[in-house]
Homo-oligomer: A and B are copies of this chain.
Amino acid sequence: MRLAIDVMGGDYAPREIVAGALQWAEQSEDTLLLVGNEYLIKEELQLYQYPTERLEIIPASQVVEMNESPASALRKKKDASIIVATRLIQAGQADAVVSCGSTGAQLAAAIFILGRLEGIDRPPIVASIPNQAGSYSLVVDVGANVDCKATQLLQFALLGKAYASIVMQLGNPRIGLLNNGEEEGKGNSLAIEAYKLLKDQKDLNFVGNIEGRDLFADKCDVIVCDGFIGNIVLKNMEGLAALVAQACIAELGRLPAFFERFDYTRVGGAPLLGVNGVSIVCHGSSKREAVFNGIKTATECVKKDIINQQKIVLQTTV
């Protein structure tokens, strides 16, 4: 497998990105394409002994900064690392791209270079959160789309269904709608409209509204929401879980088992769904272990052929 790594994106780029990529190269048979400033990458590579035959440097002279507008960055910075990396998929030279840089730029690059799947207006990001049953639930969208229409939430549900079917090997995943109350009719105008669409959609195992307190209750496999609230809720959980970790270790010496599973470095990356290629979004604050796990997620998405699986679900249900 050939994996394009955006070496320039992220708070700890390029050092931690290169380190995570090398770690993956050592224990796999994949070829890693390190995309970014050639000089900086070579400098980093000098720090390690590495399997040269499975590492390639792909020069890219620009970087999209975190505070830049993705749309204008895409226009102005044709040689940005995320663009060059995403083009490698389009050119058939890479099977997937992994980045810890600007999510907006990664999303824009995926849309404009790889294209959207048929029936999808706005590609969402899917993330997994641990549940009390010892498994995980997926949340779609966790940050790609801050203003959504009800039809887009329905698309998120279909993509989430496809992804859960593949990675969690579920026959007909349970779909829930994040809401401020359980009863039908609860919610803001978006949620009320989305509820109707989800309920009316054939072949969708819609289980109704999911309240904030039930996100860990294993009431459903896929939780649908807009990316504004999805991002806030996900970060809130991570923030609170980090406090649990700190407080438990300081006061009690260790962490309860459930909260070990909140460590995002173990998951490493969240796939963009609804685009015609595997693009893995990693935390901006990723260090080598998270990068390693983000690359691992990418290889699993390629092996499990998530693109075709999404196409099948979209063709049969939209």
Closest to A242 in B: B213
Q: Annotate A229-247 by CB proximity to B: 1 below 8 A, 0 otherwise.
A: 1011111111111111001
Give residues in A with beta carbon < 8 Å to B: 67, 132, 143, 146-147, 178-180, 183, 187-189, 191, 211-217, 226-229, 231-244, 247-248, 250-254, 256-259
**A212 CB contact (under 8 Å) in B179, B236, B257:** B236
* Chain A interface main SS type: helix
B228 touches A191 (CB 8 A): yes
A243 touches B216 (CB 8 A): yes
Q: Does A252 lie within 8 Å of B256, measured CB to CB?
A: yes
Which residues of chain B have C-beta atoms less than 8 A from A234's C-beta?
212
* Complex: A12 Cα to B188 Cα, angstroms: 28
Each complex incorporates copies of this chain amounting to 2
Choose among B146, B180, B187, B238 the residue that contacts A180 (Cβ–Cβ < 8 A): B146
A239-B213 contact given A147-B189, A247-B259, CB 8 Å threshold: yes
Bound complex: CA A247 to CA B252 (Å)? 12
Interface residue from B67, B180, B216, B232 paired with A227 (Cβ < 8 Å): B180
Taken together as a complex, chains A and B put the C-alpha atoms of A239 and B247 apart, in Å, by: 18
Question: Which residues on the B side are within 8 Å of A237 (C-beta)?
Answer: 212, 236, 240
In the complex formed, the residue of B with least CB distance to A183 is B67
Query: What is the distance, in angstroms, from A233's C-beta to the closest C-beta of chain B?
Result: 6
A229 to B187, CA, bound (A): 10
Q: Report which of B132, B243, B253 forms a contact with A258, defined as CB distance below 8 A.
A: B243
Query: What are 27 A-B residue pairs whose CB atoms fall within 8 Å in the complex?
Result: A143-B180, A146-B188, A147-B189, A180-B228, A180-B231, A180-B235, A188-B226, A188-B228, A211-B232, A211-B235, A212-B231, A212-B235, A212-B238, A212-B239, A213-B236, A213-B239, A214-B239, A228-B229, A229-B232, A232-B233, A233-B236, A236-B236, A244-B259, A247-B258, A250-B256, A251-B257, A252-B252
